[in-house]
Amino acid sequence: MTSREVVVLSVGGMRFVTRASTLQQFPESRLARMLNDDDREFKLVSGEFFVDRDGALFSYIMDFLRTLQVSLPTDFSDYQRLQREAEFYGLYPLANLLSQEHLLKPRLEILEVRFSLQEMQAFFRIFGSCSTTIEALAEQITVFTGQQSGQGWNSPFPSQKPLVPLPLERPSHHDMVFLCGTEYSAGDQFVARYVSIKPDNRKLINGTNVLGLLLDTLLKDGFRLISTRTVVSEEKVECYTFERMKRAAGLTFTVNQTPGSSGVAQARRSQVQKGK
């Protein structure tokens, strides 16, 4: 059988079609030996290899062989069963990884938004347990400043005057601070700060509107609002707490092979996630 030939497997009643070269990723595995009729556990029936094992879990085995990556659903919990399947097929690099469940289990991520209104300004502070989320959010949020005439919080956007983007305050890798609204400058001039949150293109000056857009952005990003409370009643500081389950960084296997060797598999993270 050559590496170009197609192999059909029936595992627990589920049918899988793949290339021989995919099953030979790890030459010492039982799946590779199966192609040479070296394993009696695999019966060749009507041109298909019959395997009396769990077909649903074998789909993860096949995904691993095709991509050399481990990708599991957020709600996956059958680590021990999948580990046993990996051991059965002789895929020990995968079995060893699955024995370290903490590398693959989803992690609870917490994010907190603090919001307060003072006269014609609104103050925001966002704190998150994952610094990469804060960094991504900081790239979405832009504060623009400029001067305008008139009074107030709800003055229309002064398109005739240029606005200058301001950098967000970043007290640490885990939080950011910004404000919007207006404050007196000189005479009837106001310094105005507008907030834009991608992918929305609007520039908002009203703090309540900015808060609504920010909360909607977080909900669309997979967060769930779990509590709302007033932190400092005198200053009317409101706190909104969100959570979401976040999959740990994926692992990629690289296989170093030399002619005649069984290959050495090394695991590395396919993505670097900070702040974990």
Q: How far apart are the first and last CA of the chain?
A: 46
pTM (predicted TM-score): 0.60
Give residue for tokens 């990629």.
252
Spans of all domains in the chain: 6-103, 108-151+158-246
Q: Using an 8 Å Cβ cutoff, are 209 and 217 in contact?
A: no
Per the DSSP assignment, residues forming a β-bridge with 190 are 148, 184
Categorize the per-residue pLDDT at 45 as very low, low, confident or very high, splitting at 50, 70 and 90.
confident
- Nearest CA-CA partner of 101 in 127, 72, 122, 123: 72
What number is the average pLDDT over the span 174-197? 85
CB 269 within 8 A of CB 249: yes
> Would strands 175-184 and 169-172 be described as parallel, antiparallel, or unpaired?
antiparallel
* CA dist., res. 43 & res. 9, Å (int): 10
Give the contacts of 206 (CB within 8 A, at least 6 positions apart).
122, 153, 154, 180, 181
Average pLDDT of the segment spanning 256-276: 45
Tell whether the model's pLDDT for residue 240 goes beyond 60.
yes
- pLDDT value of residue 272: 34
Q: Tell me the pLDDT tens digit for each residue of 10-31.
A: 999 899 999 999 999 899 899 9
In CATH, 108-151+158-246 is 3.30.1410.10:
yes
Reference 111, options 239, 253, 265, 268; nearest CA is 239
- The mean pLDDT of the chain is 83
pLDDT value at position 217? 95
CATH class of the domain defined by 6-103: alpha beta
Q: Quick one: pLDDT at residue 120?
A: 87
- Percentage of the residues of the chain whose pLDDT score is greater than 70: 78
Average pLDDT over residues 147-161: 55
CB 253 within 8 A of CB 86: no
Q: Residue 159 pLDDT more than 50?
A: no
Average pLDDT of the segment spanning 212-216: 96
Tens-place pLDDT, residues 55-111: 999 999 999 999 888 888 877 888 899 999 999 999 998 998 888 877 777 778 999
pLDDT grade for 254, boundaries at 50, 70 and 90: low
* Higher pLDDT, residue 216 or 76: 216
